[in-house]
Chains A and B, each alone.
Chain A
């Protein structure tokens, strides 16, 4: 099960970054987000997986697709985009990936054998309104400011 989600994540992520059509990239991003939510479920994070589905798939992805629609000419049927610096970027990212993988495989992580995952929603809610209440309120204010700012920036009249 893990290998299914991992393969889906990596393959669709690869298509996101290599496909020339922005719309196709957006739809492959949908598969990536779904399989990342599956990985969260395998890790026992049920609430985070649901939030991932609601916020990423329902919100951010739609926002990105709206952005694609609004910033390309309607008459341009094939929405294509180019790439720059392809060879140095491939070499650099390959080196980065190799060194990161070597580092994390060679290091010995101290893992503890934890119990089977149990529902986390209640515990997360309790933590959010007790120990992390300040962070919770600040995040609410940040989100409000960001949305007001985005709306006023996008609709500014000349």
Chain B
């Protein structure tokens, strides 16, 4: 059986689901970030797969590059925020950071 578009879409779907699972279940903020990276990777696989099997030229590749750049910026900002949270509250567990509730 030849490897077609559906194969790549299945892989990216599984990757997306695991990213969602990491975001929903993990307590540590850094693991939530890892889940976001998994989701962005699955989106990139989708872009490049459609760019390969549809007749779109190289625009999918360009959008994948833009997504990678935005992921780098997002990771830097989010880690700075996580470091500040750790400095202020001495924890990075998301379920314990509920100061706004009071």
Contact between B65 and A100 (Cβ–Cβ < 8 Å)? no
* Chain B interface size range: 35 or more
Binary CB contact string for chain B from 81 to 94 against chain A (1 if under 8 A, 0 otherwise): 11110100000110
Considering only residues 4-31 of chain B, those with a C-beta below 8 Å from chain A are 4-11, 13-22, 24-31
Cα-based distance from A123 to B59 in the complex (angstroms): 10
* Residue contact B11 to A9, C-beta cutoff 8 Å: yes
With both beta carbons as reference points, the residue of chain A lying nearest to B11 in the complex is identified as: A6
- Does A120 contact B72, Cβ atoms closer than 8 Å? no
Query: With A13-B14, A45-B52, A142-B73 known to touch, is A120 a contact of B27 (CB < 8 Å)?
Result: no
B22 contacts A153, C-beta separation under 8 Å:
no
Which residues in B have their C-beta under 8 angstroms from that of A149?
A: 77, 80
In the complex, are the beta carbons of B28 and A81 less than 8 A apart? yes
Whether the pair A153, B84 counts as a contact (CB closer than 8 A) is yes
In the assembled complex, the CB of B74 is this many whole angstroms from the nearest CB of chain A, namely: 8
Residue of A26, A112, A135 touching B53 (CB-CB under 8 A): A112
Which residues of A (28-66) have their CB < 8 Å from a CB of B? 29, 32-33, 36, 39-40, 42-45, 47-48, 51-52, 55-56, 59-60, 63-64, 66
Nearest CB of chain B from residue A43's CB, rounded to whole Å: 5
Interface check A104, CB cutoff 8 A: yes
Q: What residues of chain B lie closer than 8 Å to A90, measured between beta carbons? A: 21
Cα distance, A56 to B9, chains bound together (Å): 21
Contacts of A68 in B (CB 8 A): 30
Instruction: Check B10 against A101 for contact (C-beta < 8 Å).
Output: yes
Q: Is A134 an interface residue when CB atoms closer than 8 A count as contact?
A: no
Q: Which of A10-40 contact B (CB under 8 A)?
A: 10, 13-14, 16-17, 22, 25-26, 29, 32-33, 36, 39-40
A113 to chain B, nearest CB (A): 9
Give the docked Cα–Cα distance between A92 and B20 (Å): 10
Q: A16-B34, A85-B24, A123-B58 are in contact. Are A64 and B15 (CB under 8 A)?
A: no
Residues of B whose CB lies within 8 Å of any CB of A are 3-11, 13-22, 24-31, 33-35, 37-38, 41, 44-45, 48-49, 51-55, 58-59, 61-62, 64-66, 68-77, 79-84, 86, 92-93, 95
5 residue pairs of the A-B complex, CB under 8 angstroms, read A6-B7, A6-B10, A17-B21, A51-B65, A146-B76
